[in-house]
Amino acid sequence: MKVCNKCGEIKPLTDYHKSKATKDGYAYMCKECSNTATNKWRKNNPDKAKQHHDKWRKKNLDNQRQYSAKWRKNNPDKVKKYVDKHCAKLRESTKERREMEIKMYGPKLPPMEAYFRYLRDEISD
């Protein structure tokens, strides 16, 4: 149990976020207070919050991209299976679906097909 610095209530440790900054390894304020504080901060700093979010998203996206590129390199067989399976599915796609895709994405390749083609190129070298 731990006393929240903000609301003063005694709450179990599971009600606190883990923190590296504190001695006991848990945050000074409970999750509830922490959420309230974050929401308040977001409300008062919408630009900063957006920036923060964009930065986080970009970092996350980069990590994800790097991770999946690495995974594909290490698992070419799985990628090939995946691509083959989905390419077969795409080939089976009906005329109606094709027309819908053209309506949605224009006469160019729909994104999924382009993506699979990209994957196939990547593993074929």
Piece of the chain touching Zn ion by CB under 5 A; list 3-11, 51-59, 70-78, 101-109: 3-11
Regarding 79 and contact with Zn ion (CB under 5 A), the answer is: no
Closest CB to Zn ion among residues 15, 101: 15
Piece of the chain touching Zn ion by CB under 5 A; list 32-40, 42-50, 52-60, 91-99: 32-40
Regarding 31 and contact with Zn ion (CB under 5 A), the answer is: no
- Angle (CA) 25 17 6, round 5°: 95
The identity of residue 102, as a single letter, is I
CA gap 5, 29 in Å, rounded: 5
The two beta strands, 10-11 and 2-3, are antiparallel
By CB under 5 A, name the binding residues for Zn ion.
4, 6-7, 30, 33
